[in-house]
Amino acid sequence: MTEPKESASRRDFLKASATVAGVSALAGVSIPSVHAGESNTIQVALVGCGGRGTGAAVNAMSTTGGPIKLIAMADTFKDRLDDSYSELKAQNLKNIEIPKEHQFVGFDAYQKAMDCLKPGDIVILATPPAFRWVHFSYAIQKGLNVFMEKPVTVDGPTTRKMFALGLEAAKKGLKVGVGLMCRHCEAREELFKRIKGGEIGEVLMLRAYRQTGPVGTALTGPRPANISELDYQIRKFHGFLWASGGCYSDFLIHNIDECCWMKDAWPVKAQASGGRHFRNDNIDQNFDSYSVEYTFDDGAKMFVEGRNVPGCNQEFASYVHGTKGSAVISSNSHSPARCKIYKGQKFIKSEQVWAFPQPEQNPYQLEWDHLLNAIRKDKVYNEVKRGAEASLVTSMGRMAAHTGQLVTYDDILNSTHEFAPMVDKLTATSPAPLQISKTTGRYPTPQPGLNRDREF
């Protein structure tokens, strides 16, 4: 993929990224062969038993390229694990065998689940994104192939760590998939080829929308008295920037990534606005609306609109406009994409010149089919760099809105504000990375124009 022009600082960083402190220690670890032959059963552990982790496990167990078995689960919370286990068993899949002694709860549960695997097996990392680099580090140490959910980073410092870890995984020959499933969509792949072939001319503008009602735990009310501050913030992770990058990073990353794919480039800067509106008693850190203008190195623009306000017009789609025509990248949610090309700028039937035939295969399943095929056939497969870049570009737009400043790719990459620098040290009795104000009873929120170099 074409990248933005690299400044000296970015080039120097990428050359040196394998030596990031705390990561390079893995370089001397000897990893046995990670190739799993087609006659062998690949074992899987699920770390993070929320809805997305459970869904990923079902997709993994539904692959048909060879024997595979889910043998271990881990989560910080027992009720989450129990609910996930019940849902998995309800699927009536014969390759789910998780005895009680392989169901682990707590902040060190991820290690215990991975310890059940052998080198060459797979771990699914689907906890809140803040923990991604911590768990990925241990997976590399254990010689495990990895499927990790998006976003894979939440700020500049964690992105630098993930770049380095991706290089380390590549050195070990580990296969790593990242849950940006739109990249595995056959309709979008065909659209990309047609755009590269010049069917809509030079790409000048892209538009992405995720304007819906409240999603996930993006709107978070006061903490109940019967739960610790740390547990509360992890359970309501969409409401806290340290845990997830907030609703902008966790939800808009798909639309941003698919647009950048069609442009075949990452933007070099972003400027944005946004605000908090009808808050009631919600005390999370999110804005309710985001309006971001990204600029690519050739001057082309990408406009991203996000809104989590009930009662408003809703749109969940992405579009691309060129000098000779336009196209629908996604039409309503992520799948089916229903990609189309038009000879003008009006999305009307009389202007349509191509549409991907329906029905489409499920990209959530395809991403697992592709990963398992690479493992069984020992093909090079590492989506870490691209996943980290998509996460970073998403954070760039979020930071522009939260600070009110123009933020460049290098600005966010080299930012020193790490939201939760001690996340790898958290235990059940640790204080939460974010502390509530004792005077206002609220968490720190972005203040554009007042806080210019950090988001809170």
pLDDT given at position 281? 86
* Amino acid 77: pLDDT: 98
pLDDT at 439: 87
Partners of 305 in the beta sheet?
209, 291
Strands (E), 365-435: 407-408
CB 178 within 8 A of CB 383: yes
User: What does the block give as tokens for 446?
Assistant: 């972005």
Q: What is the pLDDT of residue 357?
A: 98
pLDDT of 35: 46
Q: pLDDT tens, position by position, for the chain (456 residues)?
A: 444 444 434 444 344 443 344 444 444 444 444 444 445 899 999 999 999 999 999 999 999 999 999 999 999 999 999 999 999 999 989 999 999 999 999 999 999 999 999 999 999 999 999 999 999 999 999 999 999 999 999 999 999 999 999 999 999 999 999 999 999 999 999 999 999 999 999 999 999 999 999 899 988 999 999 999 999 999 999 999 999 999 999 999 999 999 999 999 999 999 999 999 888 889 999 999 999 999 999 999 999 999 999 999 999 999 999 999 999 999 999 999 999 999 999 999 999 999 999 999 999 999 999 999 999 999 999 999 999 999 999 999 999 999 999 999 999 999 999 999 999 999 999 999 999 988 888 899 999 999 999 999
DSSP state, 380? -
Asked if omega into 336 is within 30° of 0 (cis), the reply is: yes
Tokens of 373: 């095929």
The reported pLDDT for the residue numbered 9 is 43
Domains and CATH numbers, the chain: 8-182+366-385 (3.40.50.720)
* Distance from C-alpha of 194 to C-alpha of 341, rounded to nearest angstrom: 9
pLDDT on residue 22: 45
Sign of the CA dihedral running 155, 245, 367, 393? negative
Q: For position 6, what pLDDT does the model report?
A: 41
pTM here is 0.92
Phi, psi for 87 (deg, rounded to 5)? -65, -40
- The structure tokens 């990925």 sit at 136
Q: Do the beta carbons of residue 178 and residue 257 sit within 8 Å?
A: no
pLDDT at 154: 98
Q: Round to whole Å and give the CA distance between 283 and 1.
A: 39
Q: What does R_g of the chain's alpha carbons equal in angstroms? A: 21
Q: Which of 127, 140, 121 is nearest to 41 (CA)?
A: 121
- What pLDDT, on a 0 to 100 scale, did the predictor assign at position 329? 98
Q: What is the pLDDT of residue 13?
A: 39
What whole-number distance in Å separates Cα of residue 373 and Cα of residue 367?
Answer: 10
What residues are paired with 291 via a beta bridge? Answer: 273, 305
Phi, psi for 440 (deg, rounded to 5): -100, -20
Are 245 and 394 spatial neighbours (Cβ–Cβ below 8 Å)? yes
State the Cα–Cα distance between residues 155 and 387, nearest whole angstrom.
13
In contact, 370 and 64? CB cutoff 8 Å: no
Separation between Cα atoms, residue 175 and residue 172, nearest integer Å: 9
- Contact between 455 and 157 (Cβ < 8 Å): no
